[in-house]
């Protein structure tokens, strides 16, 4: 067959198909389906996934672990703020809170001291918060700090700002 006759056959077949409703329905619906598919895909891409989960924790282990983790993070931030403060000694402080923060700053001078202080404070804060307890007569800086942390949320917010508490 010559290329001319192939072209004539192809043209005749096309014209026969172009006369049917099915051809035009298909020819017009494909672009519409492409637009709809793109729009739906864009819509689903713009929807933010939900990052909220519910955990059924009958043992209380997850709750305690989460609480300990949050306390540790907040305590790290709080001790960073305290370490940057300029009060040099408890005697120079203008009020009881400043005296306590100065005492804590003195207690966390070295990295080893800070780590020990943070570990003990986290334990005390967790215990005091979960058992609604209090230290009868706190004498150490870590005990005073933990008792203050659990008892005075407003003062904590004033002293440390964006900590989650």
The average pLDDT across 1-26 equals 88
The average pLDDT across 91-111 equals 77
Four-CA torsion 20, 26, 28, 29, nearest 10 degrees: 150
Which pLDDT band holds residue 36 (cuts at 50, 70, 90)? very high
The average pLDDT across 95-124 equals 85
C-alpha to C-alpha distance for 147 and 125, rounded to whole angstroms: 7
Match 């172009």 to its residue by tokens: 18
Which pLDDT band holds residue 38 (cuts at 50, 70, 90)? very high
Threshold 0.85, pTM exceeds: no
Evaluate whether 123 touches 131 at the Cβ level (below 8 Å): no
Task: Give the DSSP per-residue string, 117-149.
Answer: HHHHHHHHHHHHHHTT---SS--SHHHHHHHHH
pLDDT score for 31: 93
C-alpha to C-alpha distance for 7 and 25, rounded to whole angstroms: 25
């Amino acid at each position: 067959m010559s290329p001319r006759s192939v072209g004539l056959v192809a043209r005749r077949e096309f014209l026969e198909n172009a006369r049917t409703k099915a051809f035009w329905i298909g020819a017009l619906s494909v672009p519409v389906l492409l637009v709809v598919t793109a729009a739906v895909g864009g819509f689903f891409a713009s929807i933010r996934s939900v990052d909220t989960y519910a955990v059924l924790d009958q043992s209380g282990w997850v709750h305690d672990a989460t609480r300990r983790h949050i306390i540790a993070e907040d305590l790290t931030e709080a001790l960073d703020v305290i370490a940057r403060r300029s009060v040099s000694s408890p005697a120079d402080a203008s009020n009881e809170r400043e005296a306590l923060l100065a005492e804590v700053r003195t207690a966390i001078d070295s990295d080893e001291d800070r780590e020990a202080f943070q570990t003990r404070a986290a334990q005390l804060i967790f215990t005091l918060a979960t058992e609604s307890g209090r230290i009868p007569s706190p004498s150490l800086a870590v005990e005073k700090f933990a008792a203050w942390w659990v008892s005075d949320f407003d003062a904590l917010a004033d002293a440390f700002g964006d900590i989650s508490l």
